Structure 1
Amino acid sequence: MVQAYGADTGNGGAEQSPQPPESRLRGLWGRWGRWTRDRGTWRRGIVLAVCSLVLTLLMAVHARIPNRVGNLGSLLETFLPWIGLFIPLLLVLALVRRSATALIALLLPSVVWLSMFGGLFTDKSGAGGDLVVASHNVNAKNPDPAGTAQQVAGSGADVVALQELPGRQVATYEKSLAGRYPYHSVQGTVGLWSKYPISGARPVDIKMGWTRALRATVKAPQGEIAVYVAHLPSVRVKLHAGFTANQRDDSADALGAAIDDEPVKRVVLLGDLNGTMNDRSLQAVTSQMRSTQGAAGDGFGFSWPASFPLARIDQVMVRDVEPLSSWTLAATDSDHLPVAARLRL
């Protein structure tokens, strides 16, 4: 006699064979049915469901959160992708509470987060390209400027932009990069190095009282490109004042106006903008340029702080130029990661 799903063990018992997948699925479906028929399952977890709804609204209408009090809107937008961390937390709590209501409500923030950021997990990079650019906030307190310069140059970039250059270290950067980049311009605390000729280099007034931005024309084999290098003011989070970013916002407006007036068709912006692409306060810049990371990157491309990157505040942006790939480079002795992109002119 053959015993279904069992085998004689020789000691009077039976060794149970694994159930087929169909049986396991029916068992799970049955348990789910019994669980959902329990009225308590639906009554429990109402607070968790409300939290999911609030999470959904924060992401879906973040642009409508006002900046009047402590620049709360900009603060949220700076770290907007990280809101997704609350989703697995709510999932665990819903399972612990055995709440069907909380589990179903959790679908809302999950769908919204994936619609906003899910595309960043696909590799959008393409082959070819005419120009590789790199940008790095080297940190004024960098203990090894020569090593940092060589590391960025080792990326193979045709054009390199550096920010936060202290006057006492400019000569070190110039000497370290001279072999690979015969053309360069330093204006204030920002600099541009290029394998191709540079002309028209000049400071750009971003309303700070000293020079932290420049504009130059790079004459690549495929034609002229206007290259901007900028280091916008830092922002701070203070208990009594919230997200203090007014000076940064004013500088962003000034930089956006300068780019808007640029007569050269093709424009590349390299620099530390101290803000993310989601931050509405950078709209004067972001509304007229594309982020290479968003268009052709793989992942979020977070660049700061280098020890545990939480946000991409170091940007490569383009106008009338096609981004083919975008990435972060290995850490240097700076508190920022360098960023790079490959472009088609």
Structure 2
Amino acid sequence: MRRSLFVLLLAVLAMAGLTVPASATVPVVRPLTVLSFNIHHAAGPDGVTDLDRLAAEIRRTRADVIGMQEVDRHWGERSHWADQPAELARRLGMHVVYGANLDEEPPAAGEPRRQYGTAILSRYPILKWRNTPLPMARPGEEQRGLLEAVVNVAGVHVRAMTTHFQHNNAESRQLQAEVVADAVRTSREPVVLTGDLNATPDAPEIKTLTALLSDRGRGATYPVEDPVSRIDYVLTRDALPLYNRVLPTASSDHRPVLATLLVWRTR
């Protein structure tokens, strides 16, 4: 299996005009399927919040790693006060980490705090993780964050990142993109960035990222029923994209993006 993946890696790199470094004579190659999904707290265009429906959609993708945005944790009535990341992890049998970018007092003493943010689900073990607050250009904007998890993909460590940029201020998105770009530069692992970046590929803030990360995406993702804008992404560094597709959904106001990659390490 490893040899066949290595041969495929060499063939695809050759078609792309790239080469494996001389030091990479015996790479360990792994396929990795990644989903980027702004889940809109599991509320579809029908107005119904349904975690079972969302979990079934994610399961059908067979994704190994899922970067999710707009994830509620005991947030309120709109999501039935559920711990959505934990519930999805339980339904899917996956590991999970959560970045609470909004963290509010509970409705009553002794109850869980109300949280809203991003999550990473992984079929593979998560070795370490962190959530970094992102800057904003104007006071009072929604706090955003960069959630990172180092995932052990059968011996290949990959840094999965997910984020959700400011929706109504390009200056804030640029500041946020620069922080994400710094995190990409300092990563020792291959990087897979998922997210609702609230900007199209020609925007300066996206170009800040694609100067460092490969973008093989195609197809609009928002709004869900008749999408006209591509604002949801799977971007990679030191990983070879093989497949990228926008999927339909009944569980959110964004369409998810599914990507299959090859990742590798050298001995």
Same fold (TM over 0.5): yes
Residue type matched to 2:214 in 1?
R
Is structure 2 residue 187 aligned with structure 1 residue 262?
Answer: yes
Is structure 2 residue 87 aligned with structure 1 residue 175?
Answer: yes
Which of 193, 196, 201 is residue 272 of structure 1 equivalent to? Answer: 196
TM superposition shift of 1:130: 0.8
CA contact (8 A) 1:145 1:173 kept: no
1:132 aligned residue: 33
**Larger Rg belongs to:** 1
Q: Which has the higher contact order (CA 8 A, sep 6+)?
A: 2
The 5-angstrom pairing of residues 302-341 of structure 1 reads 302-341=220-259
TM superposition shift of 1:321: 0.3
Aligned residues: 204
CA contact (8 A) 2:71 2:84 kept: no
CA contact (8 A) 1:289 1:318 kept: yes
TM superposition shift of 1:179: 4.0
1:58 aligned residue: none
Deviation per residue, 1:37-92 (Å, 9 max, x gap): xxxxxxxxxxxxxxxxxxxxxxxxxxxxxxxxxxxxxxxxxxxxxxxxxxxxxxxx
Mapped partners of 2:37, 2:50: distance in 1: 12
SS in 2 for 1:304: coil
Which of 63, 66, 84 is residue 157 of structure 1 equivalent to? Answer: 63
The 5-angstrom pairing of residues 1-345 of structure 1 reads 130-140=31-41, 142=43, 143-146=48-51, 147-168=53-74, 169=79, 171-188=83-100, 189-208=117-136, 210-235=143-168, 244-264=169-189, 266-293=190-217, 300-345=218-263
TM superposition shift of 1:269: 0.3
**How many percent of aligned residue pairs carry the same amino acid?**
25
CA contact (8 A) 2:73 2:84 kept: no
Residue type matched to 1:233 in 2?
Q
SS in 2 for 1:135: strand
Q: TM-score, normalised by structure 2?
A: 0.70
Mapped partners of 2:148, 2:84: distance in 1: 22
Deviation per residue, 1:172-222 (Å, 9 max, x gap): 342233243431101110000111000221102321474532011010015
SS in 1 for 2:83: helix
Mapped partners of 1:226, 1:252: distance in 2: 17
Q: TM-score, normalised by structure 1?
A: 0.55
Moved >6 Å (runs of 4+): none
Q: Which has the higher helix share?
A: 1
Superposed CA RMSD? 2.2
CA contact (8 A) 1:218 1:227 kept: yes
